[in-house]
Structures are given as C-alpha cells and as structure tokens.
C-alpha cells in the first residue's frame, strides 16, 4: 500500500459534511485498505468557523474555500455545500487545479451537469455524484455501469422523502395535506419552508439527472414537467383506495415507444397497491427501473439524512481515489444518444377524473361524448348522487396528456358539469 496519503478538501460541514469527516476519521484504516492508500482530511471550508465541530482539527478549518481548492495539493474535493454558487465556481476551480470532485449537489448537477462534466473532461478529472439522487441508495452507479449493456425504458421513483412522509401519513391516518405537513415539520421531515419538496423542485432535479443517465442523453431541469402535491386531498386518497391504489409523488422518466424521444416529469399519481413502490413508507425512497433485458429492478433505502448521504459520498470518494492511484478515470457523462425531450402533452398514461355534475338524465351521455370527441377512451365510470347534485368518476384508458387536457377544458364548458374536483394520473400498471 502507498503510504503517502491522498488529500481531501471538504467544502461544507453541515449535516452531511460533518458525517463525511466523522467517517473518514473513524473508518480511516478500512478506507486506506480499500483505496490502497491512506486518505487525509486536508482542509474544511465553512461559513462559520467559530461553530464547534467535534472531531475536526480546528487548524483544518477555513472560510476561504477558493484558496482551499486552489492549493494544488488536493486530490479530491468533496462538495456538500449545495446550491448553485459558490459551489459551481469552486468545482470548476478544483478541476483546474488538479483535483477530482465528489458532489452531493442535485440542483447544481441538474442545472449544469453538462458544463461540469466538460470541465472534468478538459482537466482529465473525475466528477462523481451518487449522493445527489436518493441519498444512500446506489442508483447512479447501477444505471451508469451495471445497466451499461442494457436499454433502460423507464425509471419510476419516489425520490423525495419529505413528500413521501406526508403522503404516507395522509394515506395511513386519513389526514389532510396541511395536517400531515405540520406533523412532518414537527418531526423534522419537512423544512420550515417546504416549497422545494412539496412543489416537486427537488424531485424534478433528480428526475433530470436520472433521465439523462438512464437514456444516455441530456435532460435539463427545464425539460422536466413538474407538479407539486399540495392539492392532493383526503378525498383523493379515498378515491385511490376505491381503485385499489395509493398516491405517491413520482418522478417518471420514459423512453417513447418508438425510442426516438424521452420524457421526464414529476407529479402525484395513483399507483396500484400491488406495485412495489406502493409499499414504500415514511421518508424512504425507492426507484423502479424497467429495461429490455434486466426487466424490472427496484432500489430502496433512505433518500436523505447526514449518515446515508455521507455513505454515498464516501463510496464515490473511494472510487475517485482508486482511479487517481490507478491512473484511470471513471465513466463520464454519456449523452451520445442526444434524444429530444418531448413536452408533457406527448406523455401517454391513464387518468382518474372526478366531476361534480347536475343530477339529471343525459349528463353521462354528454360527458361521454366529450371524451369520445377528444379521442380519450373511457375504461370505467361510476356515478353517484342525491338532491340534484351528483359526482361522476371516470377512469380512462391510455391517452396523451394533450388529449386529456382538451377533454377537461371541454368538460368545464358543459352547463351540466359544476366542476372538475380532481384529475389524477394512474401509473405503474
């Protein structure tokens, strides 16, 4: 084994960074044996150097992250700051000064992954980011390496623990959205401002990363259709139960049937209770992958948290260190397929639509005619009502999102339709 240590610079020492530092210390002998050389924490860049950080030599702590990545003797920069800047500039600077980079930064990779990979390539360095998607769950490496000889057609995942916690609570207790969110906040599963989670921004960043890797193409954050889950109601869960389903916030990346384009989207959807994703409880994440040869695979585990995310960061750190010792590089960006990303209107799926309608003869015929005129075939209809008010629940066969959108627009114009109570996609069948 080489005795001269590989030097690691840690950018950020919050929940994840402090765990990375802790494990680097407590598991140092194992890491050395697995890498073939010791690894040494050579510097830790933080914003507030006066905060006590157990187990970290105060002499390593600096507020000057730029100077740290420019030192020139750093082998690997671990970026766990999050956000776009200064993380982006620091990573690029690190490549230019000879370091490889391990990042947990989903927002940055989703937005600027292509440019960062190009910077890594230009400097012949590694860029790894297993921790950016679904925390500790090995997902990037299996998609990029284990399935490199296969053709992935679909990735369907629960990639945000906060929203899964909220939806699971609504499903289990019958609570409404606000009540379940309050519980999640009280228990520390939701942040004070939960927007990034509940509006699907976090999941959309992960969907962009997963789609790009799965389909060997480039999917930008703006390419991902995004709907949050703040309007999911207890009534939706009751409807889902009647369908033998539950509701999850899903990230769905699909290759079109003709193989010529892909789509990526995040929205709440009903999935059958028999689907393996339906049983994913609490803040856990799981990603279901469908490919030509392998068939159906699922990866399950904790999608966030300091220690799980640190596990993914350290797995990447070992890989990058091994590459440096061996003189090789890991797989870079693979976007050769250059497939267009189709708009949401092209997505084909099934729909569950609840309508409030007038309780009089002929309403069902009117509604059914509107569906037929827009080419949306109805699977089942359930009608119930009293006192002049009624509800219609329509479940469609597969149709494009554009066709469904046109249908709903036309339904709203019918005098007999008082309102569209909910529209929910049905996935995973």
CB nearer to a copy of itself: pick between 281 and 360: 281
Phi-psi map region of 203: left, alpha, beta (phi>0 left; psi -120 to 50 alpha): alpha
Q: Which residue is catalytic, options 106, 125, 206, 248?
A: 206
In 3D space, the residue among 78, 44, 82 whose CA is nearest the CA of residue 60 turns out to be 44
Helix (H, G, I), strand (E, B) or coil at 392: strand
Q: Which residue's CB is nearer to a copy of itself, number 34 or number 97?
A: 34
| Footprint on residues 337-356 left by a copy of itself (CB under 8 A) | 337
* Candidate ranges 7-15, 57-65, 244-252, 309-317; the one touching a copy of itself (CB under 8 A): 309-317
Contact 229, 181 (CB under 8 A): no
Structure-block tokens of residue 245 = 């389903």
- Whole-number minimum distance, CB 65 to a copy of itself, in Å? 22
Note whether 155 and 211 are within 8 A (CB).
yes
Give the nearest distance from C-beta 394 to a copy of itself in angstroms: 31
Q: What does the alpha-carbon distance between residue 253 and residue 210 come to, in Å, rounded to a whole number?
A: 8
Is the separation of the CB atoms in 260 and 231 below 8 Å?
no
Mode of pairing for the β-strands spanning 389-396 and 348-358: antiparallel
Q: Is 409 in the site for a copy of itself (CB under 8 A)?
A: no
Binding string, residues 66-105; x marks residues near a copy of itself by CB under 8 A: ----------------------------------------
Q: 157: closest CA among 21, 253, 25?
A: 253
Among 334, 383, 400, 422, indicate the residue that binds a copy of itself (CB under 8 A): 334
CA 338 from chain centre, in angstroms, equals: 21
Residue 139 CA to residue 182 CA, distance in Å, equals: 31
Q: What are the backbone dihedrals phi and psi of residue 301, each rounded to the nearest 5 degrees, phi first?
A: 165, -175
Q: Per rule CB under 8 A, is residue 114 in the interface with a copy of itself? A: no
Per-residue x/- track, 161-200, a copy of itself (CB under 8 A): ----------------------------------------
Judged by CB under 8 A, does residue 27 bind a copy of itself? yes
Radius of gyration of the chain (CA): 24
Q: Residues 123 to 142: which contact a copy of itself by CB under 8 A? A: 130, 136-138, 141-142
Beta bridge partners of 44: 10, 61
* Binding of a copy of itself by 296 (CB under 8 A): yes
Residue closer to a copy of itself by CB (options 148, 235) is: 148
Contact between 28 and a copy of itself by CB under 8 A: the answer reads no
Helix (H, G, I), strand (E, B) or coil at 83: coil
Which residue number, 335 or 344, has a Cβ lying nearer to a copy of itself? 335
- Tell me whether residue 212 is exposed, middle or buried, using C-beta atoms within 10 angstroms of its C-beta: 0 to 12, 13 to 18, 19 or more: buried
Question: Is position 13 an interface residue for a copy of itself (rule: CB under 8 A)?
Answer: no
For residue 206, indicate whether it is catalytic: yes
Nearer to a copy of itself, 188 or 326 (CB): 326
- Please tell me whether residue 30 binds a copy of itself under the rule CB under 8 A: yes
Listing DSSP states for 307-337 in one string gives HHHHHHHHHHHHHHHHHHHHT--------TT
Query: Using the rule CB under 8 A, is 314 a contact of a copy of itself?
Result: yes
Q: How far apart are CA 363 and CA 386, in angstroms?
A: 14
Question: Of these, 302, 341, 350, 404, which contacts a copy of itself (CB under 8 A)?
Answer: 302
Q: List active site positions.
A: 206
Binding stretches for a copy of itself (CB under 8 A): 19, 23, 27, 30-31, 33-34, 130, 136-138, 141-142, 145-151, 216, 276, 279, 291-302, 305, 307-308, 310-319, 322-323, 326-329, 331, 334, 336-337
């Amino acid at each position: 084994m080489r005795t001269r240590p590989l030097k690691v610079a840690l950018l950020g020492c919050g929940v994840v960074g402090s765990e990375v530092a802790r494990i680097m210390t407590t598991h140092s002998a194992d890491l050395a044996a697995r890498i073939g050389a010791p690894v040494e924490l050579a510097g830790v860049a933080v914003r507030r150097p006066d905060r006590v950080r157990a187990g970290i030599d105060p002499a390593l702590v600096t507020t000057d992250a730029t100077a740290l990545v420019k030192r020139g003797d750093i082998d690997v920069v671990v970026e766990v700051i999050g956000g776009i800047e200064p993380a982006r500039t620091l990573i690029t600077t690190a490549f230019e000064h000879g370091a490889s980079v391990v990042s947990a930064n989903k927002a940055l990779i989703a937005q600027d992954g292509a440019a960062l990979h190009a910077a890594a390539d230009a400097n012949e360095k590694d860029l790894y980011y297993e921790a950016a998607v679904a925390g500790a769950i090995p997902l990037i490496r299996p998609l990029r390496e284990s399935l490199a000889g296969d053709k992935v057609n679909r990735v369907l995942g629960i990639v945000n623990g906060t929203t899964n916690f909220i939806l699971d609570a609504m499903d289990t207790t019958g609570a409404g959205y606000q009540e379940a969110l309050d519980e999640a906040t009280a228990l520390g599963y939701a942040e004070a401002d939960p927007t990034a989670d509940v509006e699907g921004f976090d999941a959309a960043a992960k969907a962009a990363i997963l789609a790009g890797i799965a389909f060997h193409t480039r999917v930008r954050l703006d390419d991902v259709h995004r709907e949050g889950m703040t309007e999911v109601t207890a009534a939706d869960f009751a409807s889902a139960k009647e369908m033998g389903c539950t509701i999850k916030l899903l990230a769905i990346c699909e290759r079109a049937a003709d193989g010529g384009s892909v789509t990526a989207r995040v929205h709440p959807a009903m999935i059958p209770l028999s689907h393996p994703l339906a049983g994913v409880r609490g803040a856990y994440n799981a990603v279901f992958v469908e490919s030509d040869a392998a068939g159906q695979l699922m990866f399950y585990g904790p999608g966030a948290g300091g220690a799980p995310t640190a596990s993914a960061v350290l797995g990447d750190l070992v890989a990058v260190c091994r590459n440096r010792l061996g003189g090789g590089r890991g797989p870079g960006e693979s976007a050769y397929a250059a497939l267009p990303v189709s708009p949401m209107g092209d997505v084909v799926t099934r729909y569950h639509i609840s309508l409030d309608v007038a309780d009089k003869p002929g309403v069902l015929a009117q509604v059914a005619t509107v569906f037929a005129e827009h080419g949306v075939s109805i699977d089942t209809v359930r009608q119930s009502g009293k006192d002049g008010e009624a509800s219609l629940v329509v479940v469609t066969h597969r149709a494009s999102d554009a066709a469904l959108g046109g249908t709903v627009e036309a339904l709203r114009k019918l005098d007999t339709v008082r309102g569209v109570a909910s529209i929910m996609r049905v996935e995973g069948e």
